[in-house]
Structure 1
Amino acid sequence: MKKFPLKLLICFILIGILLTGCSLINTSTKEVNTLIDKEGKDNTNEEDKDIEENEEEIDILGEELLRFFRQYYSANEEGIIALNAYPVNINDAYVESYEDYTDNSLKLLEGFMTEGLEKNLQKPFFKTDVHFPRFVKVNGNVIIGYTDVKDVHYKIIKEEDRDLTIEVDVDVKAEVITEKKFNELFESDKKTRYFTKKNEKAAIEDSDKDEIKVRCSYVLEIHKNNIEEISLFTLKEKGEVSVPEENRRNIINNDFLKRINYLESAPLSDDLLIRDFLYTFMNQDKDAYQYYQYAFDADVDTYKAMVYDLGIENYLLVDEKNYQSQFPNTILPTKDDIISINMSKEGIDINVHTETSKKTKVYIVDFLAAAKLSDYNASNLKYRYYITLEHDEEFNTKITRIQYISMNPSFDETENESEESGESEAVEEITNEE
């Protein structure tokens, strides 16, 4: 039997002593690190809790404002007229208007009035502490009703105890008719200083209506109770220009309101339609574009035959009386010394324009193309168009208007900004043509 080496025995004894010493210490290094990590997590959790509680408090006010404005914008056409009629003199028209105003205002603001406001709304009036929803002109159309509040953004301007002054932007969908149709149906009443319907029985057909999205700005004075419910002292339109009350309700006074995108992005079906059309139309040869020019100048039958020959008949909805304004010859990509261009579907960028509505989609379309020039050189170009989509009689989506905006050989931000500066004028031209 071999003897156990003395040196190895001494090593085992020393290891045992060290392990025993570690067991006598209250906490090991690992345990200390664990405690530190736990403390850090506890502190982080407390901070997160504070942030969440703060956000929750902000959300409560936001939710209350959203709840209020959904009720505020529920006024129908008759209600809007009653809420904005301020007679000049105390006469028969005044008494009738006053009763309608009181009934409609108390109903519309029910549950959101301070005691003082409720009393004021029941007193004889020539002015109001609340600017109610009204008819407003926007880009050749007139808002006649409000349908759905989508979002509310607010900023607290002043706070004293539980009384707040806040600026609020409300994103809301609005029902519109053309200004021409509005003037056919409504007239200004000198006695009530607002509009009345020419024929009470005249209904507005769905075919005459469209829907847009707008952002309305207001200044509110409100009170919050102990459970964070809000009640209203005053609500006034917030515009850049101060307008006297007797003129404020004119439909042209729209400074407190601006149109915003009806859609966040193009639906897939619209996106594919635009890409397929551009790929087909923009990759034609010069002979095809000369054919387009000839047919455009000839007559509608020749034009429709050309559309079929170029393979774009499934994309366009051609109006026989207005095809030249729908699809002007300026849409051809072969400008100046360009013989032809080559572009891909992947190089197309499609963005929603603010002129988009429920019935009419207007898109800003940019695409890159390699151009072949008459001197046999090549150039990289960026094109911009406005393309309008609508439904045909069978509810198929078709292109109803194309407008050429710009063509640039380079893509720096300065040129992009110059392109965008002309957008409003171009779209205004589209609106006026319609």
Structure 2
Amino acid sequence: MTLGKGLGSIGHKDLFKIAIPIMIANVSTPLIGVVDTIIIGRVPDPALIGSVAIASLIFTFIYWGFGFLRMGTAGLTSQAAGANDQEEIRATLGRSALLAIIIGLALIALQHPISELSFYLIHGSPRVELLANEYFDIRIWSAPATLTNYVLIGWLIAIGKARHALALQLLLNVSNMLLDILFVLGLNMGVKGVALGTLLSEYGAAGAGIVIVLMIQNRLAGAWDIKRILAKQKMIKNLSVNADILVRSLALIVVFTWFTASSAAFGDTVLAANAVLLHFMTVSAYFLDGIAFATEKFIGESVGKNSRRHFSDAAKLTTMWAGGVATVISISLLIYGPDIIDFITVDNSIRETAKEYVIFAALTPLIGVWCFQLDGIFIGATATALMRNSMLVSTLLFFITWKSLEDLGNLGLWIALLSHFFYRTLTMYLQLPKVIGAITEYKVSRD
């Protein structure tokens, strides 16, 4: 098979036009935290690094929970694109952006209880918490822009403009780095400078994204129609899809939070070793997500077209490549994992513990890729209620597995985590016939 032919209606080039820009964008994102730490680390005050780390962690958890805005927008827009319903493509963007702004404003309005709860759960020294609060109080005002960016990126991916999505992400990352340098090293603003740099870069990216979107939508048929955007049934569908994905995301957060908390119960060495290995999983996900995002787009189009053939082509091609990428990652981690561990940490006890369990981190891409792919399929088909239920059942089974293997300590914890990926794959696979069977039921609504 040549690179351009692919399977039936979808070519390999079609896949990688979406996947590669997303992979690059994903890999560039962690550089923000690294640069923040490097820049703030040049100021002779150890509390600054700790405060940025704590505050950044809080926002990571907050915004991870609202990742449904990107996924929900991508699924619904892809379906409208597949049906060639250009007015609905525009209206979906309007609904999702409206929801993002409302949630963002709500986060600002609730910033004080959110801050109090966050710093109750995450402790630091009095000075670290004071500085972290300063960071929080500034960055929280970027919430509407941050969430709008999620919507814009999801929409751009869904209409096949992944390069534009990449450009927005790179603009955000690069501008954040430059503003950090200006405010922290140039103007000596400390933690406030880091937070202000992030805030301005988020609004800058949102502004640029809006300009790009307006240029694109001018080529679509029809015009902005507030009645269509606010159509009751469409709004209910949008809210339902996003609520399902939110519940699914929260369940996933619970699993990884429990994993980290349980790691801490085994001592500092195990906690540190597992943290190193979780970085392996995170980097693996950056690459696999690129293909999963493409899966969302192609599956959504197949639903919009009422085409089971297109659905089959999309599922087979993306899964084939995802499996191949996962295999390469797993083999690479098996071979080079110990060397990477040695590079990350110089503590011999952490090195030894991490190497003892590196096999599990290496197997994660190969075991987890199938549920990642099914996530993409279910999101593209907006079968989010089934995906939500799958995650809830899998999370329950995770805790049952962990409890039954608790005597094995960290070994049992890793087995339970990998089992969670397997449970997600199994429960979604069993529901897949329902997703396929519903394709012919999709109709483009004109209300």
TM range (shorter): under 0.3
The one of the two structures with greater contact order (alpha-carbon pairs below 8 A, sep at least 6) is: 2
Give the structure with the higher percent helix: 2
TM-score when normalising by structure 2: 0.21
